[in-house]
Structure 1
Amino acid sequence: MPSPHQPSPLILLPQLPPKTLVGIDLIAFSSTANFHGIRDLPNGWHFLYTGTTESLSLRCGAWFYVGDVRSTGSGDSDTAVVVAQAPNPAPEIYIWKWNTETESLSSLKYDSDADRQEAMRYKANLGALWQSGGLFRYRSCVSPAMLSNKPGSAPAEARQAEEDEEAEESGRRDWRQLTNRLSPEILTRIIGEPELDVDGRPRWMVTSASTANRDADHIPGVDSPAAGEQTSAGMISEQEREFGFLPIDLKRTWREGAIGRERTEAAQDKSWALGDLIYKYSSRVSGEITVDEQTGEAQVLGELQFTFIMALTMMNFSCLQQWKRLLELILTCRRAILDREAFMSEVLRLLLRQLERFDDVEGGLLEIDGDEGGEFLRNLLTKMRRSVDEVVEPGTQSMVKTELDRVDAWVKNEYDWELTRESIVRRGMLQLEDGEEVEMSMNDNDEDEETGEYAPMVVELGEQNDMRLQEEEASDLEDMRY
């Protein structure tokens, strides 16, 4: 056990009321009267959040990093964001007090002498907290055995301990894979400038009410309180917590000035829109000459991770919508399957890890967005399956195809989804209870077969229309000369 003079990374939560919902990373629990914090925090990103109840209450949380933050955001490549760090960092002890007015955790301030003295008192009392069992050991997952107090035989207990250790390591590995693209730069872009605690360590605050402007329901005179006005819970208006998401416009995925065939192809294959987004958020090397697109790809991957975690833990509606927009942009690309093979394969690898955590939310993550949530994702994966089968030549080694095969096998086993359209009966006869047979077809069949509202329209142009079109084309050419 570490000495109180050399404590392991831990977070102290003094004055936290009992039965408060507490979540850290992928696990949540209700606090007890003897709960004062969490010890043995592993290096890496962590997200701590609280709520007054498990369901119908505002959730408030914060991102923070344990260890050398300069190693963040790299994933499997060398795109880490370098930030300044003190040469001799203090022991990593985070102290967040419960604020009874806002019903949320607030850190002791870096520029307050009173808060510094209070922090010293809490740190001096670490030994007593440790001895009383008030500091709970960090765990990334909980097995049924961890929740049970029933005694068992020695071999069974040893076997269960080994299984718990394997489950714990698996949980930590999952969390690392779900957050390995996050960086201070990404969090600051999305959330805003971080707060500094009493030791000068940053934390990025988020609430379940935080939203992007495009996802907010603006009601004049209702959702725009006067400056400094507080809500009934004593909280400042959430306007300052507007998310700075990547701008994604799925209704316009072609370049400025594109017409005709180019515009049609860009609407069906969104590779240009993805490339343009990555280019705009890539770092520049030697001024504007060389563009490092790996940094732009890291921005997209990091936001894909952030939005998923916020939807999973905070039930944040805006983050869920942005996560879906990102997936629709990426999974409907065709040329990018070959041109950005490493990026596309990493997206599919990340998506599989995210799919495996859907059941962390009661009823499944997509259920909070309505019944069409699962259908939305299945349609995207089906389109991706078709694109990969058409773009990748048979017998060719493709990382994208390999990762998609893993996703395909998982959703088929878990949800009984069939992603190959040729294997799905699109139209057929259905026998009713009274013996009558009726013809049925899939709801999304019209788009694939170009029938119904998706059927091409044939318009006959008369001589006058032909002359008008010729005049308009001549006028356009004349304007281009000037």
Structure 2
Amino acid sequence: MPPLLQPSSTILLPQLPPKTLVGIDLITFTSTTNFHGIRDLPHGWHFLYTGTTESLSLRCGAWFYVGDLRTAGNGRDDSTALVAAHSQNTTPEIYIWRWSSESEALDTLKHGSDADRQEAMRYKANLGATWQSGGLFRYRSRVSPSLLTAQPGSGQTVQKQDEDEDGETEESGRRDWQGLTDRISPSLLSRIVGSPELDVDGRPRWAVTTASTASRDADNIPGLDPSTEGPDGVSETGGEQERAFGFLPIDLKRTWREGAVGRERTEAAQDRSWALGDLINRCSAEAMEDGQTGETQLLGELQFTFLMVLTMMNYSCLQQWKRLLELILTSKQAITDREGFMSDVLRLLSLQLQRCDDVEGGIFEIDGDEGGDFFRKLLMKLRASIDEILGNDVQSAVKSELEKLDAWVKEEYDWELHREAIVRRGMVQLEDGEEVELEMDGHDEDEETGEYAPLVVDLGGSGMPDDGNLQDTEMGG
């Protein structure tokens, strides 16, 4: 007698063509003829997407939540979150996303459609037979090495060792995914992506594609752009509508309050804490339907943008992720004034950097030549700010998290974050014994030399010179 099948939360994907790229959270695979869906979905956020090929193809996906949506986005307790999620005794949820040959993407059975409701009932009635035939893929958060390679022999000791390794890998993967999504909320997704679609059972999903973009990142070339923009910033392409991302507004070229002059503007340009605080206050002042704070909204947007780069290779999300990090990591006063928030950002960034290689070629390769160097310079500036403000004796959560991140990037990427530890000028002996002096380029901005050197404006003895021209001379020149 076959073992009794225990019902679990499942997503059915009828009519999905074989050899389609399928991604669920942090893993991807290619569908087969007998693949009909994914079972054993754990509670929490999930992102399911498809593509026609593994690399250069448009990817379409959507966010959905298994469990009580009211609990989403409020952070987590590492020690209890997984246990609490598994201990919930709720009715398993069945999601049905049907393949559309017209859009070459997964679509929901529509809420309010009698025909779609009848079709959903048929799929649910046949769920047991589909499971019994092996047509449902068991949810995995990460693939264990023991599943990728054949193990020699079939002894009980080897099998037990593989099971233990697989269990530890799966638990670690689920913790990582939870840490990458715990600040994402329905209100955040609705703000960024737009209003969700509802399936036949009234459950929401928020759709995203590789081509989704914010207005500021779009390349609108008059006469060459085939898309047309409709009302409310909606782009219409191929008969479908796609709303522009509603990212938080960040202007790194103007980080001071309106009306600021002189020293105040100079200090706000060097320390962006005022701009960060203003953005957080504006987010907090808005009526968030789930009661989130502005800091949580920033953390949630950091999580969303990173994961859309990792899974969809979305260019606009990459730019917003970098803008958010540059604003936060160059805010000196926030190191002490917003210690909890800054330490949460570094903890999240550490986890994100550990998953950067999940995307083909690494996430830094998507950003071209600037990628790794951009993040290294940001971390070096933060290191210098912490040393300046806290010194060697003062301990804080921000400093502790940066020490962990510092050790990891040094081992993984060979990055040195202490500026004084980098030799920028010295004598090098050539093969023929001749010694020449070399100087490392690319640090003019940090050292305020070269084109970044301070300038003095000579206004003459009594204000403006007679010819009305300003003479710029280099400081000390």
Same fold, TM exceeding 0.5? Answer: yes
Q: Which amino acid in the other structure matches residue 332 of structure 2?
A: R
Deviation at 1:226, TM superposition (A): 5.0
1:189 aligned onto 2:191 = yes
Q: Which moved more, 1:449-458 or 1:167-176?
A: 449-458
TM-score (norm 2): 0.89
Give the equivalent residue in structure 2 for 1:119.
120
Give the equivalent residue in structure 2 for 1:340.
338
Give the equivalent residue in structure 1 for 2:276.
274
Distance 1:395 1:343 in 2: 22
Distance 2:256 2:4 in 1: 61
Give the equivalent residue in structure 1 for 2:47.
47
Q: Does structure 1 conserve the Cα–Cα contact (< 8 Å) formed by 2:13 and 2:36? A: yes
Alpha-carbon RMSD across the aligned residues, in angstroms, is 2.3
Distance 1:239 1:467 in 2: 59
Q: Deviations over 1:337-372 (max 9, x none)?
A: 000000000000000000110110122111111022
Q: Does structure 2 conserve the Cα–Cα contact (< 8 Å) formed by 1:225 and 1:237? A: no
Q: Does structure 2 conserve the Cα–Cα contact (< 8 Å) formed by 1:7 and 1:91? A: yes
Deviation at 1:295, TM superposition (A): 0.6
Q: Does structure 1 conserve the Cα–Cα contact (< 8 Å) formed by 2:426 and 2:438? A: yes
Deviation at 1:220, TM superposition (A): 1.1
Give the equivalent residue in structure 2 for 1:446.
444
What SS class does the counterpart of residue 383 from structure 1 fall into? helix
Deviation at 1:454, TM superposition (A): 1.3
Give the equivalent residue in structure 1 for 2:85.
none
Q: Deviations over 1:225-245 (max 9, x none)?
A: 3579xxxxx963676331100
Deviation at 1:427, TM superposition (A): 1.5
Distance 1:277 1:384 in 2: 20
Q: Which amino acid in the other structure matches residue 105 of structure 1?
A: L
What SS class does the counterpart of residue 130 from structure 1 fall into? helix
> 1:322 pairs with 317, 320, 323, which one?
320
Q: Does structure 2 conserve the Cα–Cα contact (< 8 Å) formed by 1:191 and 1:204? A: yes
Q: Does structure 1 conserve the Cα–Cα contact (< 8 Å) formed by 2:228 and 2:237? A: no
What SS class does the counterpart of residue 48 from structure 1 fall into? strand
Aligned residues: 445
Give the equivalent residue in structure 1 for 2:106.
105
Distance 1:162 1:91 in 2: 27
Q: Does structure 1 conserve the Cα–Cα contact (< 8 Å) formed by 2:428 and 2:436? A: yes
Give the equivalent residue in structure 2 for 1:248.
250
Distance 1:3 1:201 in 2: 28
Deviation at 1:460, TM superposition (A): 2.6
What SS class does the counterpart of residue 160 from structure 1 fall into? helix
1:360 aligned onto 2:358 = yes
Q: Does structure 2 conserve the Cα–Cα contact (< 8 Å) formed by 1:337 and 1:400? A: yes
Deviation at 1:148, TM superposition (A): 3.4
Give the equivalent residue in structure 2 for 1:129.
130
Give the equivalent residue in structure 2 for 1:75.
75
Change (3 A) 1:433 1:113: farther
Deviation at 1:441, TM superposition (A): 2.4
Q: Which moved more, 1:452-461 or 1:98-107?
A: 452-461
Distance 1:283 1:96 in 2: 37
Distance 1:237 1:453 in 2: 50
Q: Which moved more, 1:146-155 or 1:56-65?
A: 146-155
Q: Which amino acid in the other structure matches residue 446 of structure 1?
A: D
Deviation at 1:438, TM superposition (A): 3.6
Q: Which amino acid in the other structure matches residue 73 of structure 2?
A: G
Q: Does structure 2 conserve the Cα–Cα contact (< 8 Å) formed by 1:9 and 1:40? A: yes
Q: Does structure 2 conserve the Cα–Cα contact (< 8 Å) formed by 1:210 and 1:238? A: no
Change (3 A) 1:227 1:317: closer
Change (3 A) 1:164 1:255: same
Give the equivalent residue in structure 1 for 2:418.
420
Give the equivalent residue in structure 1 for 2:297.
299
Deviation at 1:216, TM superposition (A): 1.0
What SS class does the counterpart of residue 213 from structure 2 fall into? coil
Change (3 A) 1:378 1:237: farther
Deviation at 1:430, TM superposition (A): 3.2
Gaps of 5+ in 1: 78-88, 229-233, 286-291, 469-482
Q: Deviations over 1:233-264 (max 9, x none)?
A: x9636763311000000011011011111100
Give the equivalent residue in structure 1 for 2:371.
373
Deviation at 1:2, TM superposition (A): 9.6
Distance 1:70 1:35 in 2: 32
What SS class does the counterpart of residue 458 from structure 1 fall into? strand
Give the equivalent residue in structure 1 for 2:473.
none
Identical counterparts, % of pairs: 71
Q: Does structure 1 conserve the Cα–Cα contact (< 8 Å) formed by 2:130 and 2:136? A: yes
Deviation at 1:457, TM superposition (A): 1.7
Distance 1:297 1:227 in 2: 32
Task: Output aligned runs, 1:183-262, within 5 Å.
Answer: 183-225=185-227, 236=238, 240-262=242-264
Q: Deviations over 1:273-294 (max 9, x none)?
A: 0000001110469xxxxxx9x6
Deviation at 1:157, TM superposition (A): 1.5
TM-score (norm 1): 0.88
Q: Does structure 2 conserve the Cα–Cα contact (< 8 Å) formed by 1:2 and 1:8? A: no
Deviation at 1:459, TM superposition (A): 3.1
Q: Which amino acid in the other structure matches residue 30 of structure 1?
A: T
